[in-house]
Amino acid sequence: MNEYLKLVSESETIRFADLVRRVEATGKKVIKLETGDPDFATHQVIIKAGYDAMQAGYTHYGVSRGLPELRAALARKLISENKITADPSKEILVTNGGVHGLYLAMQAILNPGDEVIVPEPYWMPYRSGTLLARAVPVIVSATQSGFKLTAEQLKKAITAKSKLLMLNSPGNPSGAVYSEAELRTICEIACDAGLYIISDEVYEKILHDDTKHWSIGSDDRFKNNVVSLFSFSKSYAMTGWRVAYVVANEALTAQMLKVLQYSITVVAPFVQKAALAALTHPESEAYLQAMKREYSARREVIKTLARQLPAGVVNIPDGAFYCLINTAQLGMKSLECAEHFLTEHNVSFTPGRAFGNGMENYLRMTFAASIDDIKYGMGKLISAFSK
Ligand code: PLP
């Protein structure tokens, strides 16, 4: 057995989801506010495109980088929406979900012993992906700075061994969105120190109020050091299809391509056809806008109910579909607290420890759930805090 893998722990979120399933198996109905999976169905035009592609014979191997027509459409989207110029024949790879794109990038960038700066709270695969590459995660707490890494924190974390900075905006689990100015400052420091940056932008389209998303790869000064990571999962409610893409310079893309070829060969071509429809079909775009409006409406419901909780307990996010709940006042560590809500009140929140050791005072509540479920969960929080 690979001794090294023992360092990588099982995903806390998956482990907690298993616990939820066990409680459900006892016959209880659990209100699920722990998932990162949109509660919307994939739109019919996308499903039909996948089905039609299967009928048309897209059921064999294909070009490992991704279908040329999909990469061409992605290059158009990148320039028009993200202001990123990418050569579809050399700088874009279609991956088996964002988590696979992250894996490719980390495998291509990291040598054993390299340090990866990971702002906390973080999405678990940043840490485990680092360990899988035999590199060293350097966790930097950003809980006191609006869940965003500051320039000072970054400067302090950089050592001679630093190789990579992980950035995620809009962020999971905090929903924090870095402004363009904040990103420019951070990226200048990182690039001056010769670091690569993985810019995880899978929540790029889920923004609230008038929050703006800015892509680091749009600036030529940073472009060469950046791997930009995008996914169809969250924007188009396509988590189960497993399709995403990475954008990087030609040399790095060539390295990532080898890891892709030796891990999955190619993303299922009919899935890529479905992704193409998601990207280009007007009905898919209208659906995306409707989902966005619904997420924002749910966030408003949370904002209103949060007034019944002590100030600062609920972190209202600028992007994505998660709220962090500060449970310090309840006097339980995060797993105990999540188990309490699950077993006593039949509602599931993700324990904060899934997002870093410094997150024991938090639960994550998703609003990729119905308004009724959100109201139920908020009601249970309000009664717990009023005791
Ligand atoms: N990045 C972040 C921050 C996420 O939360 C997720 C999924 O939860 C992903 C990337 C990857 O999603 P997928 O692998 O479904 O594309």
Tens digits of residue pLDDT in 260-319: 999 999 999 999 999 999 999 999 999 999 999 999 999 999 999 999 999 999 999 999
Domain extent, residue 145, equals: 45-281
Relative to the CA of 36, which ligand 1 atom is closest?
8
The CATH number given to whatever domain includes residue 30 is 3.90.1150.10
Reply yes or no on whether the pLDDT at 74 is more than 90: yes
Strands in 187-317 per DSSP E: 196-200, 226-231, 244-247, 314-315
Mutate to test the pocket of ligand 1, among 106, 127, 234 (most ligand atoms within 8 A of CB): 234
If asked whether residues 268 and 290 sit together in one domain, one would say: no
Residues with CB under 6 A from ligand 1: 36, 97-99, 123, 168, 172, 200, 202, 231, 233, 239, 244
- Specify the amino acid at residue 161: K
Query: If you measure from the C-alpha of residue 243 to the centroid of ligand 1, how many angstroms do you get, rounded to a whole number?
Result: 11
Tell which of 238, 253, 281 closes a domain.
281
Mutate to test the pocket of ligand 1, among 174, 230, 233 (most ligand atoms within 8 A of CB): 233
Please state the length of the chain: 387
Nearest to 88 by CA among 306, 266, 250, 212: 250
If asked whether residues 129 and 109 sit together in one domain, one would say: yes
User: Closest Cα to atom 10, ligand 1: which residue?
Assistant: 98
Tell which of 281, 305, 320 closes a domain.
281
If asked whether residues 172 and 301 sit together in one domain, one would say: no
Strands in 21-175 per DSSP E: 31-32, 92-95, 115-120, 136-141, 162-168
Reply yes or no on whether the pLDDT at 204 is more than 80: yes
Query: If you measure from the C-alpha of residue 233 to the centroid of ligand 1, how many angstroms do you get, rounded to a whole number?
Result: 7
Structure confidence at residue 8 as a pLDDT band (50, 70, 90) = confident
- Specify the amino acid at residue 236: Y
Structure confidence at residue 14 as a pLDDT band (50, 70, 90) = confident
Average pLDDT over residues 162-190: 98
Query: If you measure from the C-alpha of residue 199 to the centroid of ligand 1, how many angstroms do you get, rounded to a whole number?
Result: 12
User: Closest Cα to atom 3, ligand 1: which residue?
Assistant: 172
Contacts of 51 (CB under 8 A, 6+ apart): 270
If asked whether residues 50 and 169 sit together in one domain, one would say: yes
